[in-house]
Structure 1
Amino acid sequence: MFVTVRYGANCQEMVNLQCRVLILTAHLKRKCQCRPEDCIDLLDETGTLMNLSKVENPASEFASKYLRERERYILIRVVRESSEATCYESLLENLGKHYPDLADQLQKLSANTQMRDHWRRGSLQRRAQPLTSTPARPRPTSQSKKSSELKGTPR
């Protein structure tokens, strides 16, 4: 059971999924020359974030629980700008050249976490729009038409 992880200047690394998440991420950090304190994660080719950086106990959880064998993943850096805002950066150079849709998806992921955080803090509030509809005029029914015709026409 293995996966391919893409990073750097079109580099690839095949990794075994029968290891702990902590070991996998440490290995990938060494390969792509990240700092040990950097937070990394993986993005699959459809743009789904694997959330390895949010695994509660990476020292005991196996990577095979979170990743699908024989898939290709893109290595990304997770940058927590504040306690709640998160930004995702591709560690594969020229991501847009290799995966044009993923470059946009990565920006949306970053924007979505920032928007969600604004909502949580209450800085963005939905404003109720006043109703501006005019009251409906009563339509003449066939009964009222007949009565008005009878009133207007002498017999």
Structure 2
Amino acid sequence: MFIYLKHGDNKQFLVNTNCPLILLLEHIKAKVGLSKTELVDLCDESGALKLLFLSQQPLEYARLQLTPRCSFTVCSVYRSRTDGAYVSISPLLANPDPALLETLQTQTDSLEKARLRQLRSLEKCRCQVKGRGRTVHLDTAQEKPLRKRGGRRRRRS
């Protein structure tokens, strides 16, 4: 099947969704004139992002995530180079609707909050890992486990 992609000043083109997500995103970048390193995503007419750039399975077919014969807007995802924070998500349109911009900003804030939550949970896991019934503390500088000494003693027979 196919979808319509809107960008620029009232421009649109058709895209076949019977291909892996990674190829679809590369084709969109080439068609719109973005570099291969930039992140792009699609949003529907209500502004809901499809989050294709976060897919855990980039070889999955795009037709499974995109409704056929619908129109989507190409959006550029901006992240901080230092810590990977989500800065903004902007539609690649000449005159975007203010409601669309507000919806995308709300989703950017939600993505950033989720990223921060995930970082905090990873930090907790690094500080304390449970293994074999004993608590293992990790030294964050060396990433080597420091085990507690003691525990059960063996009986001699």
- Using structure 2 for the length normalisation, give the TM-score: 0.67
- The percent of aligned pairs where both chains have the same amino acid is 28
Structure 2 residue matching 1:19: 3-state secondary structure: coil
The 1:22/1:113 distance shift into structure 2, 3 A limit, reads closer
2:153 matched residue in structure 1: none
Counterpart CA distance in 1 for 2:7 and 2:102 is 17
Q: Does 1:77 align with 2:59?
A: no
Which ranges in structure 2 are unaligned for 5 or more consecutive residues?
121-157
Give the one of 110, 113, 116 matched to 1:112.
110
Larger Cα-atom Rg: 1
Question: Are the counterparts in 2 of residues 47 and 102 from structure 1 also a CA contact under 8 Å?
Answer: yes
Matched-pair contact (CA < 8 Å) for 2:75–2:92: yes
| 1:61-90 deviation per Cα after TM superposition (whole angstroms, max 9, x unaligned) | 100011000111010011122334342111
Unaligned runs of 5+ in 1: 123-155
- The number of residues matched between the two structures is 118
**Structure that is richer in helix per residue:** 1
The answer to which structure has the higher strand fraction is: 2
Partner of 2:18: 18
Q: Which one-letter code corresponds to 2:79 in the other structure?
A: R
Aligned to 2:35: 35
Tell me how far apart the structure 2 counterparts of residues 116 and 63 of structure 1 sit (CA, whole Å): 24
Where relative contact order (Cα < 8 A, 6+ residues apart) is larger, the structure is: 1
Separation in 2 of the partners of 1:32 and 1:44?
A: 17
How far is 1:111 from its partner?
A: 2.8
Contact kept? 1:86, 1:113, Cα under 8 Å = no
